[in-house]
């Protein structure tokens, strides 16, 4: 291969890698998931009663993408007394600022509208359940 072909190949691989890494993740709720998309319009009403687990995330955040399936599995396995929601910090910066979310993913556990616990970084479904159980 000549040098130009090698350079073009490297550039093509770089472009594909960049697109893969920056591929937006929809995080939309499917019909079988219990995850609520939280915004400034519904945040207070959705978190004011009972226990609500809220995942603060962004589409460009690789650890957030890794946490997404954990949150979905947790929501699917949780009983109806536990609500699970997600806040996109890029689309709802006021909520992130209100709760001093400085790193993502951050999981905040609310009990009757007030912060009761917090976890920063990746965590397991079992750890989420243990925290929820401690709040009941």
- Residues assigned a catalytic role: 61, 64
Integer Cα distance of 37 and 54 in angstroms: 10
Counting every residue, how long is the chain?
A: 136
Three-class DSSP category at 55: strand
H or E element, residue 83: strand 82-88
Cβ atoms within 10 A of the Cβ of 98, count?
A: 11
Give the chain's count of helices (H) and strands (E): 5, 5
């Amino acid at each position: 291969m000549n040098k130009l072909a090698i350079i073009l190949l490297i550039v093509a691989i770089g472009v594909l890698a960049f697109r893969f890494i920056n591929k937006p993740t929809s995080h939309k709720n499917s019909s079988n998931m219990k995850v609520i998309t939280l915004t400034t319009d519904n945040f207070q009403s959705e978190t004011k009663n009972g226990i609500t687990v809220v995942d603060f995330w962004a589409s460009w955040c690789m650890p957030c993408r890794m946490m997404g399936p954990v949150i979905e599995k947790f929501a699917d396995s949780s009983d109806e007394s536990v609500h699970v929601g997600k806040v996109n910090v890029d689309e709802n910066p006021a909520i992130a600022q209100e709760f001093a979310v400085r790193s993502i993913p951050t999981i905040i556990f609310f009990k009757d509208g007030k912060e009761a616990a917090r976890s920063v970084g990746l965590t397991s479904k079992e750890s989420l359940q243990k925290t929820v159980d401690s709040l009941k």
